[in-house]
Amino acid sequence: MADGADLRLVNLTKRFGIFTAVDDLSLTIPQGGFFALLGASGCGKTTTLRMVAGLEEPTSGQVLLGGQDIARLRPYKRPVNTVFQSYALFPHLDVFENVAFGLRRRGVRDIAAQVGRMLSLVQLDGYDKRRPAQLSGGQQQRVALARALINHPQVLLLDEPLGALDLKLRRQMQIELKRIQTEVGLTFVHVTHDQEEAMTMADTVAVMNAGRIEQLGAPAEIYEFPATPFVANFLGQSNLLAGEVAGRSADEVVVSAYGSRFSLPAARCRAASGDIYLGVRPEKLHLAPSAEAVPAGHQWIAGVVSDSSYVGVSTQYLVRTSWGTELSAFSSNAGVHAQLPLGAQVVAYWRPEHAFLLAREAGAG
Ligand code: ATP
């Protein structure tokens, strides 16, 4: 892919009065990728997207597309289109005319074939004469997508585009959007607060917090090896055990937590000294009746089952340690085995390479 059409945000900042919504943000979005900006409400993701679209002027910084700074171009002069959660279709025009709108405005002739191709792409063949009011929410969203894609933008911005859909339709559209992105090969920048949505669709996810990027990486990378306590907590559940680094060698770090020592491979450690969190995801934590039953090569903490929730594919247990910390463990129900009763003495164990180590001061825990 041509490096020239990468989208680069350079020291991008947006202040509203004394409030900084986007704080010196720099990142590169490679051409042709599916990029997600993920964060809680108010973290600045929509403001970032609006600065790329031209709907908000940056206080400072650059928006570079193919090396050209587009930050101060009017929205319609940018090779960028946006799909909003609200669809914003023209209610009085049928599907065909909604999709054809951009082409007509530019005086393009022979539009029928192009509109037809777009309607096929979003799987709306045969719907061209319907009005938006005669379509479901998912179908309206597809029309909005076709209307944006027909202009052949270099970058398609999607601002919570699936937010108004019910859960089942949302899941369907996630797969559909990914398929369409692969088919057209355009850069998609998708804003969402839904971590599952970001992880399902994007090749690269940027986790935002308070106007800054906390971590950027492939979904598996940020889930398996979060950079900060904020990311560890924002993406799914995490058991974060507070402790201190007690020693280290070239390939191992030893930590002391809750009166025990645990070691991790150095490659799983983002801190090598001081106050840390030892993190283990709930699905990486297994339960055994006693320390003798823990397989070799694992590390463990003893506790008592304090809560359990049966959720079909798995059971979620809470294990209270003698320090009062509660650990969460997902136990698969794939095999046939009895559920553990409340109050059962157990040992929670994990493989050292499945844990991760974070500096305690890195981000809000
Ligand atoms: P959401 O998911 O709720 O849309 P977001 O992460 O997209 O949240 P933004 O809409 O970018 O967040 O807003 C970031 C912060 O900037 C918020 O605290 C918001 O109140 C503030 N903000 C946004 N637009 C303005 C504005 N025009 N004037 C003042 N403050 C604003």
Shortest CA distance to 177 belongs to which of 164, 191, 192, 162?
A: 162
Q: What separation in Å is there between the alpha carbon of 177 and the centre of ligand 1?
A: 25
Ligand 1 pocket test, candidate residues 25, 46, 190, most atoms within 8 A of CB: 46
Q: Whose CA is nearest to atom 1 of ligand 1?
A: 41
Contact yes or no for 203/33 (Cβ under 8 A): yes
Where, residue-wise, is CATH 2.40.50.100 in the chain?
A: 230-359
Nearest ligand 1 atom, CA 14: 16
Residue written as token pair 């809750």: 258
Q: What separation in Å is there between the alpha carbon of 43 and the centre of ligand 1?
A: 7
Domain topology for 3-229: Rossmann fold (3.40.50)
Residue type, 15: R
Q: Whose CA is nearest to atom 24 of ligand 1?
A: 47
Contact yes or no for 98/142 (Cβ under 8 A): no
Q: What separation in Å is there between the alpha carbon of 166 and the centre of ligand 1?
A: 24
CA–CA separation, 258 vs 281, rounded Å?
A: 18
The predicted structure's pLDDT at residue 168: 84
Q: Enter the pTM of the model.
A: 0.88
The predicted structure's pLDDT at residue 338: 77
Token digits of residue 265: 């491979």
Q: What separation in Å is there between the alpha carbon of 38 and the centre of ligand 1?
A: 14
Q: Whose CA is nearest to atom 14 of ligand 1?
A: 44
CA–CA separation, 270 vs 317, rounded Å?
A: 28
Q: Which segments of the chain are extended strands (E)?
A: 7-16, 19-29, 34-38, 60-65, 68-69, 80-84, 155-159, 187-192, 204-209, 212-217, 239-248, 252-257, 260-265, 275-280, 286-288, 299-310, 314-321, 326-332, 345-350, 356-359
Nearest ligand 1 atom, CA 44: 11
The predicted structure's pLDDT at residue 253: 96
The predicted structure's pLDDT at residue 362: 54
Which residues, judged by CB distance below 6 Å to any ligand atom, belong to the binding site of ligand 1?
16, 19, 21, 39, 41-47, 193
Question: Which class in CATH covers the domain with range 230-359?
Answer: mainly beta
* pLDDT tens for each residue of 305-355: 999 999 888 899 999 998 889 999 998 888 767 788 999 999 999 999 999
Ligand 1 pocket test, candidate residues 12, 43, 84, most atoms within 8 A of CB: 43
The predicted structure's pLDDT at residue 322: 86
pLDDT tens-place values along the chain, 365 residues long: 344 489 999 999 999 999 999 999 999 999 999 999 999 999 999 999 999 999 999 999 999 998 899 988 898 889 999 988 877 899 999 999 999 998 998 888 889 999 999 999 888 999 999 999 999 888 898 999 999 999 889 999 999 888 877 888 888 889 988 998 999 899 999 999 999 999 999 999 999 999 999 999 999 999 999 999 999 999 988 899 999 999 999 899 999 998 899 999 999 999 889 999 999 999 999 999 999 999 999 999 999 999 999 988 889 999 999 888 999 999 888 876 778 899 999 999 999 999 999 999 754 44
Q: Whose CA is nearest to atom 27 of ligand 1?
A: 16
CA–CA separation, 163 vs 59, rounded Å?
A: 29
Q: What separation in Å is there between the alpha carbon of 13 and the centre of ligand 1?
A: 13
Where, residue-wise, is CATH 3.40.50.300 in the chain?
A: 3-229
Token digits of residue 137: 């929410």
Ligand 1 pocket test, candidate residues 16, 82, 213, most atoms within 8 A of CB: 16
**First-to-last C-alpha distance (Å) of the chain:** 39
Nearest ligand 1 atom, CA 191: 7
Q: What separation in Å is there between the alpha carbon of 98 and the centre of ligand 1?
A: 29
